[in-house]
Chains A and B, each alone.
Chain A
Amino acid sequence: MSSWRPQIDLARLLDALANEIVTTTEQEVRAAHGWDERAVQTAAKEIGRMIFGGRINLDDLGDPNETIVLVEPTMSRGPAHKQH
């Protein structure tokens, strides 16, 4: 019987790949998007909209002292919405 525990392998791999992503440079992000600044901005806006729940336009986030309204937690409320 195999003693392979894929969750251990996955945990190691996710740790290592997360570290790779954390240590990427701005240049590497741009290179990953073909040096297309607009592609980077589009990708960033998508995540920005997601973070701010569409309630704040990232283009308007010029003042770092303004109150930020972030979306509420989604995973702690009710059961997981499975998509099997």
Chain B
Amino acid sequence: MEECTERSGRLIVAVDNSADDVALAIHSLSDADLVRLKALAQLWVRGLPRGFSWSDVLHEAIARALDGSRKWPRGIPILAFLSGVMRSICEDQWRRERLEHEVLAREVDSADLCGIGDTAGSTTDPERAVGAAQSLAAINRLFAADPDALKIIAGLSDGLTAAEICRVYGMSEREYDTTRKRMRRALLRCGLDWSAS
């Protein structure tokens, strides 16, 4: 698909990669890329309702990329693109869960049992909150032996920048960078699959 945007009088054309490009890129992934892809899937499955595996989210991401339902913009690395697809899958899945709850609540309400339909919206968010709290706990457990990593985790969860994390937690830039390296290795080595928690 092509998108045309006019900016400063010049026509800018952004072209998405085709499904064939996606297949070729996946085909060409190196061993290190595949390891990173698994680590990404193990990470993103933490954003899904419990019961899904990292292979589920990865299968789905690849399927969406190949069937064209998710376009791969030119200039975006394939891993970053697939990571973004997995991210949107998490959102879609929670949306689906919420809809299922709402349909169920409406059916109960229409049967005039106890009128719980009014609370349909509020019944799903607590479930997601509990799941998120469990995922945060699992991520914290992965880094439990590394106090500096836990500081960075806390800072990232709060939406802080690297500079802010260093300032808030009294870390030097070097400490921050070396800790990040340890975290990256842990994510690549251990992953965050549900089976590990």
Contact = CB atoms under 8 A, between A and B. Distances in A.
Interface of A: 5-7, 9-18, 20-22, 24, 26, 28-33, 40-41, 43-44, 46-48, 50-51, 61, 64, 68, 70-76, 80-84
B157 A9 contact: yes
Interface of B: 23-24, 26-28, 30-32, 34-40, 43-44, 46-47, 49-52, 55-60, 62-64, 66-67, 77, 79-80, 83, 87, 89-90, 93, 125, 128-129, 131-133, 135-136, 139, 153, 156-159, 180-181, 183-189, 194
A25 to B, nearest CB: 8
A47 B34 contact: yes
Contact of A43 (B38, B58, B158): B38
Nearest to B37: A47
A29 B32 contact: yes
SS class, residues of chain A in contact with chain B = helix
A6 B154 CA distance: 12
A30 B117 CA distance: 53
SS class, residues of chain B in contact with chain A = helix
A74 B64 CA distance: 11
Contacts of B135: 10
A81 B51 contact: yes
Contacts of B57: 75
A83 B53 CA distance: 10
Contacts of A75: 52, 56-57, 59-60, 89, 93
A3 to B, nearest CB: 11
A28 B188 contact: yes
Given A12-B157, A74-B60, A84-B51, A28 B181 contact: yes
Contacts of A5: 129
Contact of B87 (A15, A31, A84): A15
B47 A32 contact: no
Contacts of B34: 43-44, 47-48, 51
A50 B58 contact: yes
3 closest A-B pairs by CB: A73-B63, A44-B31, A6-B132
Contacts of B194: 83
B128 A18 contact: no
A20 to B, nearest CB: 5
Contacts of A73: 59-60, 63-64, 67
